[in-house]
Amino acid sequence: MISPALSALREGRFILLYDFDDRERETDFAIRADAVTPGAVVTMRRDGGGLICTAIRQDAARRLGLPFAREILRQCAVAEKTGDIPYDPKNQSSFSLWVNHRGTFTGITDRDRALTITGIADEVKKSLNGGGHAFSSRFRSPGHVAVLIAADRLLSERHGQTELSIALADMAGITPAVTICEMLDSENGNALSKEDAKRYARDKGLVFVEGPEVLEAWDAWKENR
């Protein structure tokens, strides 16, 4: 299902992205960040229910001056340490800053979050095309959209939703900024089961793709570059 997933991302449509049976066992909505509309935010918060985040490639984060949250919190007692994540004990989380676009009001509305997300994608695109950026002039923190920074070597280093989504973006040839949101089960409060996520995908005509498929395609893509 890799080719249909890449086509959907190029066209600005949602895909459903499941990670691995031995990791989080979660399905995320995933959509290219520069295609996010207020309606897309509605879909994620209503049918997903998890955290709406925007993943970006690490080289873009460096150019934009965006740190990992753990770097900022290092002096705090609650700062994350290696081994703190039960489903990924060898790595640390990909969280960076939580931001609002300066053109937003509260930052939490569907329109505000869509503006913040597309603004992040625009800054990522500019930074990777050699242009200047003005991230601090366009955004403020704290805010209501979490930025996630992918591992530098992507799936060769970490197998999170962040890396899966950015690997797909690279293979699709789009700006490496992808908005993701976990799908939760409204009945039991847990992560939506893979079977129910697949059923949702069939009902909505969405592509469902799993981590092992992405990893296999990514390895082949790297070899042929």
Cβ(179)–Cβ(30) below 8 Å: yes
Mean pLDDT of the chain: 94
Q: Is the dihedral of CA 80, 82, 84, 90 positive or negative?
A: positive
In a domain, 223, yes or no: no
In a domain, 185, yes or no: yes
State how far the Cα of 171 lies from the Cα of 220, in Å rounded to an integer. 10
pLDDT at 131 over 80: no
Of the residues 53, 101, 112, 210, only one is catalytic, namely 53
In a domain, 224, yes or no: no
pLDDT at 132 over 70: no
Of the residues 100, 112, 123, 210, only one is catalytic, namely 100
In a domain, 208, yes or no: yes
Of the residues 112, 182, 200, 210, only one is catalytic, namely 182
CATH number for position 203: 3.90.870.10
In a domain, 195, yes or no: yes
pLDDT at 202 over 90: yes
182 lies in which domain range?
A: 2-218
In a domain, 225, yes or no: no
In a domain, 186, yes or no: yes
Over residues 107-120, the pLDDT tens digits come to 999 999 999 999 99
Cβ within 8 Å of residue 179, ≥6 positions away: 29, 30, 31, 32, 33, 36, 40, 44, 52, 53, 54, 55, 117
pLDDT at 92: 82
In a domain, 184, yes or no: yes
pLDDT at 77: 75
pLDDT at 2: 94
Q: How many domains does the chain have?
A: 1
pTM for the predicted model, two decimal places: 0.95
| Cα first-last separation, the chain | 21
State how far the Cα of 172 lies from the Cα of 169, in Å rounded to an integer. 5
